[in-house]
């Protein structure tokens, strides 16, 4: 959870989060970790090969995962982490977010994984060359 906290707070301006928002941020980080854990389990299991109790367990985990994703999205909006939640009604972005511009090289979908994993992958590539 600490890594998620550092990733989120590291990408936002230093005054983005206030003391009052820390409990919400903590729950957001917990949701991210829970979602990743549940998704990891779901990714390892082929639901077409399951029967009976195992299939019910898989379905229950899918429901838990979905609920966590919805909660995570809601908390992200409350913390103004999504671009849409940072827009004014006229469509203007009211605060720039560090690292999310069109020219930013640190995009979450690039190279997959967390910033730490991407840094490790980049270091390994440099050693290989």
Annotate 19-87 with DSSP letters as a single string.
Answer: GGGHHHHHHHHHHHHHHHHHHHHHHH--GGG--HHHHHHHHHHHHHHHHHHHHHHHHHHHTT-STGGGB
Q: Which domain holds residue 74?
A: 2-98
Number of domains in the chain: 2
Assess whether 69 and 123 both reside in one domain. no
| Three-state DSSP class for residue 93 | strand
Answer yes or no: do 17 and 32 share one domain: yes
Give 53: exposed, middle or buried? Use CB within 10 Å, 0-12, 13-18, 19+. Answer: exposed
Which tokens is 27 given? 């729950």
- Do residues 70 and 123 both lie within one domain? no
Q: What is the pTM of this model?
A: 0.65
My answer on whether 91 and 104 are in the same domain is no
Q: Give the pLDDT mean for 48-61.
A: 92
| Residue 76 and residue 105 in one domain | no
Compute the mean pLDDT over every residue in the chain, rounded to the nearest whole number: 78
Examine the pLDDT at 112 and tell me if it is beyond 60: no
Which among 86, 61, 64 is positioned nearest to 76, based on CA atoms? Answer: 86
Same domain flag for 58 and 45: yes
Are 56 and 119 in a shared domain?
Answer: no
Same domain, 83 and 63: yes
Give the pLDDT confidence score for residue 14 in this predicted structure.
80
Which is higher by pLDDT, 97 or 52?
A: 52
65 or 117: which leads in pLDDT: 65
Indicate whether 22 pLDDT > 60: yes
- Is there a single domain that holds both residue 104 and residue 94? no
Residues 60 and 22 grouped into a single domain: yes
68 & 106 share domain: no
Task: Give residue 52's region: left, alpha or beta (phi > 0; psi -120 to 50).
Answer: left
Q: What's the mean pLDDT in 101-106? A: 45
Token digits of residue 72: 């995570």
Model pLDDT, residue 67: 97
């Amino acid at each position: 959870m600490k890594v998620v906290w550092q990733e989120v707070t590291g990408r936002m301006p230093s005054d983005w989060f206030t003391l009052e928002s820390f409990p919400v941020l903590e729950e957001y980080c917990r949701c991210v970790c829970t979602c990743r854990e549940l998704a990891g389990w779901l990714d390892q299991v082929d639901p077409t090969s399951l029967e009976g109790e195992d299939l019910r367990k898989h379905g229950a985990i899918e429901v838990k995962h979905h609920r966590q994703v919805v909660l995570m999205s809601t908390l992200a909006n409350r913390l103004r982490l999504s671009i849409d939640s940072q827009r004014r009604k006229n469509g203007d972005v009211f605060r720039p977010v560090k690292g999310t511009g069109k020219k930013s090289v640190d995009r979450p979908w690039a190279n997959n994984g967390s910033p730490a994993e991407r840094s490790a992958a980049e270091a390994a590539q440099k050693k290989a060359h």
